[in-house]
Structure 1
Amino acid sequence: MWQNMVLVVAVTGVLVGCSVTSHIDESYQRQLSMPSTWQQTHTLGDVQPNWLAQLENQQVHDLIALALSNNFSISRKALEIETARQQLIISGSALWPTLDVSLDSARRKSANSSELSNSHSLNLQLNYELDLWGKLSAEERQANLSVMARQAEFLQEQYNLVAQVVISWFAVIEGQQQLALLRQRLALVEQNLDIIETGYKQGLNSALDVYLTRNEFSNESAKVAQQQALVSQRKRTLERLVGEYPSAQLGVQSELPLLNSSINVGIPSELVSRKPALLSSWYKLLQQDAALAFAHKSRFPSINLAASYGPSGTQFKDAFSMSAAGWSLLSGVSAPLFNAGKLAANEELARIQLKGQELSYLDSLQDAFAAVENGISSEQALRKRYQETLISEQNAKLAERLSFEQYQKGLVSYTTVLDAQKRSFEAQSSLISIKNELIKNRVELHLALGGDFKLSRPKENNHETT
């Protein structure tokens, strides 16, 4: 028996050299073609990992902490990690021997005799599959990489949630400021309507001016109602993110800061090892590579060892008597001979899936680079827009005041006044929107760069959000 086992080991040793399959390794990333700098870079330096600490208002930090604790998507991602860990335990158990105990009783009658025979046995069975070419190790590696991919996905989900909470919080503030501006606009139109109606009664203004002003008042009243609904919707979105009932009763009191500071963007090659989403995609690629190795090695013979020990006899008490105990040691080799191409197809399927996962990884890499480039160029454009809109707002306010003064003197029609007021309002509204777009773009740029965050109290005497 021992000679047979030696022969088995010798034969399998020859096959081990043909069992190595690894298409993806650490050198794969080093061979990727990546630019040394960003095409739209305006500031060089290391990416700031703790961008969240630069937010002043403590409410947003409290809301983020609440979201990380209560958000359903985050909780579901955490369960996916635990699921992958249990699968890892299952896969890893195949590398260890199994030990089972069995108690068997049988009663038989011979075909040539009327005599009955009894047998009772208690066996302790040990089974072990030799992993000479690493088939079981490949399966365990696949499960381990699945855990790592899930952990990276969970981290990215946390980053995404933090960004969503910050963006939603500022969206509520922007909506409230737009609502306040609309109410100011409505109050101005109401004041104009009172002046024009009084002038009409005195014969100073025409009926057309009255109708135009009343129409403007109705339009602005409708806009106020619409904006109120929008603010409520944004509050509900924020409440859903933090895991609370969407009652739209959340109180948010803050202002939109103007971003003037620059942001360090690092270099493209650092993004591969920093951004959790890319790490997850990389682990999935390695996982599929391990799946191909498992499919390839499943076509090789399986070598199993089995040992049993235990007493047996014709009496039930013999099954518990150590004097009747015996042992056996078995070894076996099983190899697939014919399965209609199933194992070959499984290997080819794993190879195709590996190629698909590789393309998915390269695609996600390009998407990550594009997100950073777009974020940098968008910030530059938004800053330019803000400066030009600021000039436009100043001119529009002067034109608004001048047009109404000239109307009262009879120099221009009321339509000129309405046009000037609309331009002034639109300029002020655009400034609020651009401020919020700058903040949203900055947060998304931090997210695209894979920047970390840390919950903390805001810095004192810091009047800028970056």
Structure 2
Amino acid sequence: MKVTLYFPFLIGFAVLGCATDSQIADATRSPEVPTNWQLQQSQLAVNDNWLAEFKQPILAKLVHEALTSNRTLRQAAYDTEILEQRLVQSGAAFWPTLDLKLTSGRSQNANTDVTANSHSIELNAGYEIDIWGKLSNAEQQANLIYLANKAQYQQSRLTLVADVVTNWFNLVTSKQLQSLAKRRVENARQNLDIIESGYKQGLNGALDVYLSRNELNSELSNLADQHTSLLQNARNLEKILSRYPSGAIVSSAAQAELPLLDWAIPTGLPSDVMTRKPALQASWYQVLALDAAVAFAHKQRFPSINLNAAISDNSNELSDLLSGSSIAWSILGSITAPLFRAGDLKANEEISRLQLKQQEQLYVDTLYNAFAEVENGMTLEDSLKQSYQATLNASQNARQAETLSFEQYQKGLVNYTTVLEAQGRSFDAQSALIQLKNKLLANRVALYVALGGDFSEPQNNQEDELINE
């Protein structure tokens, strides 16, 4: 048959193969997004330098150390580089293949004992015509998977920075709580000295002495617990920095303070999160990649057109190869079409379509989870600020009550139990105040990440090398 007889059919297949529309639902492409946040703080653009707002230079050093040393981040970087090479592989399908084969042998006839040499050289070239755009879909899928992984790597960097900052403030908090516990121990010792002195003078009863000793032992136990917590927080931070977890970083937090959040966070608009947050970008790239996979699976059901060419030469002497006397060449065109696969290709296309629908649901779920993180973060910050102010007032009142109760006890107006209760309320309020400041800071960091804010200066926000050798 003549090739022209097949030409109309090839054109028809090409039109059908290339007419594969996107399978992504309109509801996924344009999800319902609110105009403003429920607790809109500011419509200013999300801050791209939130790390500097804490005004703690040591944080910049710790963040840099983590970004260059953290092993989990380095693993993610290697994953991204692997996918970059996979992208190169997918692009190679558009180029012809060229292979050189050289064979050399020696044989002997068993009856005549005659030996003969044989040498051959062959150059083969192959090329698949991407008439349906199937190879383009495969390359598009590989590119989108790479972009998704790259965006996820950026999210991992942001999460790592947030972990460094949060664990640093946890360390500072533990250090301050340990200092508070030491003051409580010293206070209990002073009280015990006063009570024992009064008991010897007949001014106090034995019960007050026992209560005072019990209070000192309780405070010593609390101090030991705070020391353990301090070392644990220090080692957690050192692990993130890929240091040996010795707890030596405690000394860096000796003079550090917890900053008080007296500035409002620029929250931007909900729609900004869709374009700013790397995790959402990664999820959307995955949707697009699976959409390309559906198109690829669909076009797998159409014929493949391949061109092959070969040049070869044979000789009894290796030096005579390519002499031109026996060079042969061939050109071959082939069309391979699946005729019967028992529904395998159709099922594979349907699987790809269902995987796309799965990823669409995951993307929308990820999107609304991101919105919920921001809404909950703003609500929690408002609540924590109110709690902090109330606890600050309670702490001031408790300190005055502590001083007054001990003065009244020395005058014989109240019993020692009243003093212990006042001291307990005072120290508990101070401890709560420190912990609330830390919760405010942790929530603020989480809110920055939820909004998609970057931690560095915009002009320096160029992507670092994925692998720092």
TM-score, normalized by the shorter chain, greater than 0.5: yes
Counterpart residue identity of residue 155, structure 1 = Q
CA contact (8 A) 2:24 2:360 kept: no
CA contact (8 A) 1:120 1:318 kept: no
CA contact (8 A) 2:152 2:278 kept: yes
Q: Identify which of 435, 452, 455 aligns with 1:453.
A: 455
Q: Indicate the residue corresponding to 1:37 in structure 2.
A: 36
Q: Indicate the residue corresponding to 1:409 in structure 2.
A: 411
User: How far apart, in 1, do the equivalents of 2:101 and 2:418 lie?
Assistant: 98
Q: Indicate the residue corresponding to 1:356 in structure 2.
A: 358
The 1:75–1:11 alpha-carbon spacing in structure 2 relative to 1, beyond 3 Å, is same
**Deviation at 1:107?**
9.4
User: How far apart, in 2, do the equivalents of 1:349 and 1:300 lie?
Assistant: 18
The 1:59–1:296 alpha-carbon spacing in structure 2 relative to 1, beyond 3 Å, is same
**Deviation at 1:105?**
6.4
Runs of 5+ consecutive residues of structure 2 not aligned to the other structure: 109-113, 459-469
The 1:455–1:215 alpha-carbon spacing in structure 2 relative to 1, beyond 3 Å, is farther
The 1:193–1:337 alpha-carbon spacing in structure 2 relative to 1, beyond 3 Å, is same
1:285 corresponds to 2:287: yes
- Mapping 1:205-284, distance limit 5 Å: 205-250=204-249, 251=251, 252=253, 253-284=255-286
The 1:130–1:10 alpha-carbon spacing in structure 2 relative to 1, beyond 3 Å, is farther
Q: Indicate the residue corresponding to 1:79 in structure 2.
A: 78
Q: Indicate the residue corresponding to 2:64 in structure 1.
A: 65
Q: Indicate the residue corresponding to 2:173 in structure 1.
A: 174
The 1:22–1:108 alpha-carbon spacing in structure 2 relative to 1, beyond 3 Å, is farther
User: How far apart, in 1, do the equivalents of 2:374 and 2:208 lie?
Assistant: 52
Q: Secondary structure at the match of 2:374?
A: helix
CA contact (8 A) 1:156 1:276 kept: yes
User: How far apart, in 2, do the equivalents of 1:161 and 1:314 lie?
Assistant: 67
Give the paired residue count: 449
User: How far apart, in 2, do the equivalents of 1:338 and 1:87 lie?
Assistant: 31
**Deviation at 1:410?**
1.7
Q: Indicate the residue corresponding to 1:375 in structure 2.
A: 377
**Deviation at 1:24?**
5.2
Q: Secondary structure at the match of 1:95?
A: coil
The 1:166–1:442 alpha-carbon spacing in structure 2 relative to 1, beyond 3 Å, is same
User: How far apart, in 1, do the equivalents of 2:316 and 2:417 lie?
Assistant: 113
The 1:291–1:204 alpha-carbon spacing in structure 2 relative to 1, beyond 3 Å, is same
CA contact (8 A) 1:12 1:132 kept: no
Q: Indicate the residue corresponding to 2:12 in structure 1.
A: 14
User: How far apart, in 2, do the equivalents of 1:168 and 1:7 lie?
Assistant: 73
Q: Secondary structure at the match of 2:93?
A: helix
**Deviation at 1:58?**
1.7
Q: Secondary structure at the match of 2:262?
A: coil
The 1:429–1:303 alpha-carbon spacing in structure 2 relative to 1, beyond 3 Å, is same
User: How far apart, in 2, do the equivalents of 1:10 and 1:309 lie?
Assistant: 32
User: How far apart, in 2, do the equivalents of 1:133 and 1:220 lie?
Assistant: 78
Q: Indicate the residue corresponding to 1:463 in structure 2.
A: none
Q: Secondary structure at the match of 1:18?
A: helix
Counterpart residue identity of residue 399, structure 2 = K
CA contact (8 A) 2:54 2:259 kept: no
1:418 corresponds to 2:420: yes
**Deviation at 1:234?**
0.7
- Mapping 1:1-150, distance limit 5 Å: 4=3, 8=6, 10-19=8-17, 20-23=19-22, 31-104=30-103, 121-150=120-149
**Deviation at 1:311?**
3.0
CA contact (8 A) 1:48 1:264 kept: yes
CA contact (8 A) 1:44 1:266 kept: yes
The 1:362–1:274 alpha-carbon spacing in structure 2 relative to 1, beyond 3 Å, is same
For each residue in 1:83-108, what CA deviation from the matched residue of structure 2 results, as whole angstroms up to 9, or x when unmatched?
Answer: 10111112221121101122356899
Counterpart residue identity of residue 227, structure 1 = Q
- Mapping 1:186-201, distance limit 5 Å: 186-201=185-200
Q: Quick one: percent identity of the two aligned structures?
A: 47
The 1:351–1:27 alpha-carbon spacing in structure 2 relative to 1, beyond 3 Å, is closer
For each residue in 1:428-454, what CA deviation from the matched residue of structure 2 results, as whole angstroms up to 9, or x when unmatched?
Answer: 111111111111111111111000121
CA contact (8 A) 2:162 2:449 kept: yes
* TM-score relative to the length of structure 2: 0.90
**Deviation at 1:21?**
2.9
Q: Identify which of 328, 333, 336 aligns with 2:335.
A: 333
User: How far apart, in 2, do the equivalents of 1:44 and 1:24 lie?
Assistant: 35
CA contact (8 A) 1:272 1:279 kept: yes
User: How far apart, in 2, do the equivalents of 1:7 and 1:249 lie?
Assistant: 81
For each residue in 1:51-95, what CA deviation from the matched residue of structure 2 results, as whole angstroms up to 9, or x when unmatched?
Answer: 112232221111111111100011111100111011111222112
User: How far apart, in 1, do the equivalents of 2:8 and 2:88 lie?
Assistant: 31
Runs of 5+ consecutive residues of structure 1 not aligned to the other structure: 110-114, 457-466
CA contact (8 A) 1:24 1:286 kept: no
User: How far apart, in 1, do the equivalents of 2:105 and 2:127 lie?
Assistant: 27
The 1:348–1:116 alpha-carbon spacing in structure 2 relative to 1, beyond 3 Å, is farther
User: How far apart, in 2, do the equivalents of 1:316 and 1:169 lie?
Assistant: 72
Q: Indicate the residue corresponding to 1:441 in structure 2.
A: 443
Q: Indicate the residue corresponding to 2:462 in structure 1.
A: none
For each residue in 1:404-443, what CA deviation from the matched residue of structure 2 results, as whole angstroms up to 9, or x when unmatched?
Answer: 1111122212111111111111111111111111111111
Q: Secondary structure at the match of 1:320?
A: coil
CA contact (8 A) 1:372 1:449 kept: yes
For each residue in 1:287-335, what CA deviation from the matched residue of structure 2 results, as whole angstroms up to 9, or x when unmatched?
Answer: 1111111111111111111111233467766642223223221111111
- C-alpha RMSD of matched pairs (Å): 2.4
